[in-house]
A and B are shown apart, each in its own frame.
Chain A
Amino acid sequence: MPLVTADITRHGAVIDVFLGVSRNRQAMLEKHKLPVPPKVGLRALIDTGAAISGFTPPVFTQLGIGPVGVIPVRTPSTIPGQPCSCSVFDVILYILSGLEQTPFPLHALAYGDFDRDPVGDLHGILGRDVLQHCNLTYLGPEKRFELGWA
């Protein structure tokens, strides 16, 4: 089982990942002899409180993709009973373990205010749509965590 072990940072359990266009999108770009955007490397926070994963808008801009869906979303700032409608983007998340990259097809949100620091080094939230494929061990006293997946 691939495994990532890392220190718990001031943000929490953070890992380095890559985000790429979906296989469907890649096939269409290749069909039209257009360049496939390179995968975007970013740091993401593992968040068991989020049902779905999300990334900051520049990540999607770098991949040259627009949304393919719209879903209702509740957030800490939405009024109860009044979710906001949010765009969903079709992407592939790659989690690294050594030299191995495991792809996780995702339908991810765009979000804009991670710690209200648009130029910070965190540009993703990995929610339970990813964690449902993983084993997460939070070793608080040791200030590290382990993330494994099949």
Chain B
Amino acid sequence: MPMALERELDTFQRELPDLLSNPENHGKYVLIQADRILGLYPSFETGLDAGYQQCELEPFLVKKVVEHEEPVYFSRNAIPCR
């Protein structure tokens, strides 16, 4: 499986300190396409809705704005994206 959303993840890592500097952003979901932040949303689902509306069929990333995101457990070997 090709590494997907590589550029969006780089953008997220670059912008995360700035996003976290505003306490209002904590726990929200950021919508990113390529190297642009398109918006912040209260849930993953609303971020997805906005992603489809703004990016249509082009790739986009929705990611939680937190310093440390709690991992989920999966019982098989998931495929890392990077």
Contact = CB atoms under 8 A, between A and B. Distances in A.
Interface of A: 22, 24-25, 27-29, 31-32, 34, 47, 49-52, 54, 57, 66-77, 83-87, 90, 107, 109-114, 125, 127
Given A57-B79, A70-B81, A51 B57 contact: no
Given A31-B56, A70-B63, A112-B77, A87 B44 contact: no
Interface in B4-38: 4-5, 9
Contacts of B51: 68
Contacts, number: 120
Given A28-B56, A69-B63, A107-B44, A50 B71 contact: no
Contacts of A75: 73-78
A34 B63 CA distance: 28
Contacts of B49: 24
A68 B48 contact: yes
Given A29-B57, A57-B1, A107-B44, A74 B73 contact: yes
14 contacts: A24-B48, A24-B52, A52-B72, A54-B78, A67-B5, A68-B60, A69-B62, A71-B71, A74-B72, A76-B75, A77-B77, A85-B9, A109-B74, A114-B76
Q: Across the A-B interface, give the 8 residue pairs with the lowest CB-CB distance, nearest first.
A: A83-B71, A72-B71, A24-B52, A84-B80, A51-B72, A87-B81, A50-B75, A49-B75
B30 to A, nearest CB: 11
B77 A68 contact: no
Nearest to A83: B71
Interface in B49-70: 49, 51-52, 56-57, 59-63, 69-70
